[in-house]
Amino acid sequence: MYRTRQEIERRWAGMEPSRTSLCGHMDAVYCVEWDGTKIVTGSRDRTIKVWSVKTGKCLGTLYGHEGSVLCLKFDATGFLASGSSDQRVMIWNIGVNKSRQFEWQHVGQLWGHTGGVLDLKIDEKWIVSW
């Protein structure tokens, strides 16, 4: 444990952190999720953007919500659920096709909230929204 802590301290002392900005939304960003290859952002501009971690470039924009995108979750298979102030949860499949082009498909939507969807939790069987 001591060696691990010492290594972390050494790395922090010897490095200057860098900052990268992702520019593309037309209004405030309300939610961010990421994995090792992509960053997914949801915005007050009613869009979801998918970004490359490696290049910082926008791979694609998902349209469909009629209100601000307040929350989103995705998994390694490309399953994405997004919640909005439009009282809906939208379901998407996102990924890269054989030509290495980003693609997405709107799969469906869930209704039933009487206010904005503030957060989501997903697993293999369930989507929980509140």
pLDDT tens digit sequence for 4-18? 898 888 888 877 767
Q: Is residue 2 part of a domain?
A: no
Give the model confidence (pLDDT) of 72-84 as tens digits: 999 988 899 999 9
Q: Is residue 117 part of a domain?
A: yes
Beta strands in 13-126 (DSSP E): 29-34, 38-43, 47-52, 58-63, 69-74, 79-84, 89-96, 102-110, 120-122
Q: Is residue 3 part of a domain?
A: no
Q: Is residue 55 part of a domain?
A: yes
**What CATH number is attached to the domain comprising 63?**
2.130.10.10
Average pLDDT, rounded, for the chain: 91
Distance CA 38, CA 1 (A): 32
Q: Is residue 83 part of a domain?
A: yes
Q: Is residue 31 part of a domain?
A: yes
Distance CA 18, CA 119 (A): 30
Distance CA 80, CA 14 (A): 38
Q: What are phi and psi of 10, to 5 degrees?
A: -65, -45
**What total of structural domains would you count in the chain?**
1
Question: Which residues face 82 on adjacent strands?
Answer: 72, 90
pTM of the entire predicted model:
0.84
Report the share of the chain in percent with pLDDT over 70.
Answer: 98
Q: Is residue 103 part of a domain?
A: yes
What is the pLDDT, as a whole number, of residue 17? 66
Q: Is residue 8 part of a domain?
A: no
Residue 1 has pLDDT above 70, yes or no: yes
Of 17 and 38, the one with more pLDDT: 38
Domain range for 44: 23-129
Give the model confidence (pLDDT) of 97-128 as tens digits: 777 778 889 999 999 999 999 999 999 899 99
